[in-house]
Structure 1
Amino acid sequence: MHDLNDLFFFSEVVANGGFAPAGRALRQPKSKLSRRVAQLEERLGVRLIERSSRRFRVTDVGQAFYEHCQNVMAEVRRAEEAVAATQGEPHGTVRFSSPLGMMEPLAAILARFMARYPRVNLQVVATNRPVDLIAERIDVALRVRTSLDTDAAFTVRTLTRSRRILVAGPPWANHLKSATALEALREVPTLSSAEQAGEDVWELQGPGARMDTFRHVPRLACGDFHAVREAAIAGLGVALLPAHSCEVALRSGQLVQVLPDWHGPDGMVHLVFTRRRGLPLPVAALIDHLAEHVRGPM
């Protein structure tokens, strides 16, 4: 059985790109780290790191060993957090993922969570790409989809619904004031929250729950709702945005809802996590906190 400290020291040397930077990060002498890694190599009978005065390189075997060490260290942290969870007060680190567009309404909610639980650390992965909960060691993922996740390996907790609406600055809103058909959008520039270039497709629901599509080449394509909203406020075109991201601008008159009979399909805002029972206390606390504060249509 290897000393876990040696695995930890080796992992930190690789993660920091050398003995000297690892020593500074850990506040340990460089000589100590070098000695412990050398002892580890001797016990394993392989070279993990190529050393020279000018070069630091992890061998192929060392890279493979490092990845296994990362898994071991993660399990150690989880074991420590599991023990801490039995002590009554939530304690430890929670990894949480969310789409970028949800971070604006979530920011204050997450800040209140951290103030409420001062011994909990929060790592937030804000991204629009699909997140693999297991591979990326995500404890809780917030997702917005037209249907709930059905993977039997995950537990789902529904929070609320999110609706996308068509908005524009006053000049374009006036231009579309009497419009009721989607074809009227062809007379105005569009702004998209899609990240890919070229043609975009808006799936829209209209009167009588009728579904239709509007194909267009947007003047702006950006995955950040904030940037698209600001472009709409600046009068650059019509955007399809979540109602929660436009609420303040709609109240102030900077934005106006256009073609109000049309909107995107309602998205189900829900949490996904890997276990129903035996959740670490800080993870359970975050889930309950989000369920308490993320309510009402968004």
Structure 2
Amino acid sequence: MNAITDLNDLWLFSEVVEHGSYTAAARSLGLQTSKLSRRIRALEEELGVRLLNRTSRSLSLTETGRQFHQHCLALVAEAKAARDIVDRTRSTPQGTVRIACPVALLESGISRIIARYVEDHPDVQVLLDATNRRVDVVEESLDFAIRVRLPPLENTDLAVRQLGLSIRILVASPALAARHAPPSSVESVQSWPTLSMASSSERFVWNLVDTEGRVTSWVHRPRLATDDLASLRVAALSGVGVALLPRELVEADLEAGRLQHLLPDLATTPGLVHAIFPSRRGMVPAVRHLLDALVAGCADSKWQR
């Protein structure tokens, strides 16, 4: 027997049985009676068996038709259950959301926003990949990934939603600052030990912009270079050197006096904190509402926008 290619025929067959006639079923379905009859005859021909006994006055199931009808009802019920799941997912936040985010961004406040969202939406499960590697949202079946990039953003077929802005500022521990005269310019701190993000070329340059938009470049040789911002923060807290760190990452340390903000008129060009995802079309509420929560959370926090 060949495989059935159109499962709608099973549904049509079950409707005919339920209504007891082609005419009543066709009226309920909004189809022509002749068209419905042809579909059922085609189904019987495909199966190679008779499902219905037809007379001028009534229809009745053959024994094979009766058994076949029970399976049709099960398939229809499963199809309805599947559709109900989709409808519920589209109406309220529920289901699984898969995302990726750099570790430093999570420590800067993103993790608190996500935790609050999960607490507020008990039917949503968030699978979070905390990683500094560049992820492929399509290949890895992610709903979205959070990134920080300097503008302009690269051209992409993916959709982008901005969450906030991130600047990096110069910070040092009070103990380190106490060993030097209060800094008044980049030149006055160029003798201080430094910490830096890793560089493949092993050439380390900080480009800082003042309030007038003037750029100052500082070439330095760091005592520690790593691609992990959290490790740089720990080293800065320990007094190992001056670090250029995201303001939102060290905000609590500045408020508590664990770090000092050096040369507050200087900072990096703002990076765009954004979510990147396959498409805006067909986005389920769990994903859309989490993005909304991230936008609102970044706006309410000390992130610049």
For Structure 1 versus Structure 2, the TM-score category normalised by the shorter chain is: 0.5 to 0.7
Correspondence list, 1:105-184, <5 A: 105-147=109-151, 149-175=153-179, 177-184=181-188
Relative distance call for 1:196 and 1:150 in structure 2 (3 A) is closer
1:93 — aligned with what? 96
Q: 1:143 offset after TM fit, Å?
A: 1.5
Q: Which runs of no fewer than 5 residues in structure 1 stay unpaired?
A: 3-78
Higher CA-based Rg: 2
For 1:191 and 1:202, locate their aligned partners in 2 and report how far apart those are by CA, in whole Å: 11
Q: Deviations over 1:198-230 (max 9, x none)?
A: 332222112521113222221112333222112
List structure 1 runs of 4+ shifted beyond 4 angstroms: 79-84
SS at match of 1:209: coil
How many pairs does the alignment contain? 222
1:215 pairs, out of 194, 214, 219, with 219
Whether the 8 Å contact between 1:188 and 1:238 is mirrored in structure 2 is: yes
Superposition RMSD in Å = 2.7
Paired letter, 2:140: E
Inter-partner Cα distance in structure 1 for 2:207 and 2:84: 47
In structure 2, runs of 5+ residues without a counterpart are 4-82
What residue is the counterpart of 1:260 in the other structure?
264
Q: Distance in 2 between matches of 1:115 and 1:196?
A: 41
Alignment of 1:291 with 2:295, yes or no, is yes
Q: Take 1:150 and 1:246, find their aligned partners in 2: how far apart are those partners?
A: 28
- More divergent stretch after superposition (201-210 vs 189-198): 189-198
AA of the residue aligned to 2:198 = A
Secondary structure at 2:244's aligned position in 1? strand
Q: Secondary structure at the match of 2:96?
A: strand
CA distance in 2, matches of 1:141, 1:151: 16
Secondary structure class of the residue paired with 2:190: helix
2:239 is the counterpart of 1:235 = yes
Shift of 1:106: 1.3
Change (3 A) 1:111 1:141: same
CA gap of 1:133–1:245, structure 2 versus 1, over 3 A, is same
Change (3 A) 1:209 1:177: farther
Q: Which residue of 2 aligns with 1:62?
A: none
Which residue identity does 1:91 align to in structure 2? Q
Contact 1:81 1:280 in 2 (8 A): no
Give, as a single letter, the amino acid of the residue that structure 2 aligns with 1:192. S
CA distance in 1 between partners of 2:257 and 2:199 (Å): 28
The SS at the match of 1:124 is strand
Letter in 1 for 2:124: V
Q: What is the rounded CA distance, in whole Å, between the counterparts of 1:170 and 1:197 in structure 2?
A: 31
Q: Which amino acid aligns with 2:177?
A: A
Q: How far is 1:172 from its partner?
A: 2.7
Report the Cα distance in structure 1 between the residues aligned to 2:164 and 2:286, rounded to whole angstroms: 22
Question: 1:112: Cα distance to partner?
Answer: 1.0
Distance 1:282 1:97 in 2: 15
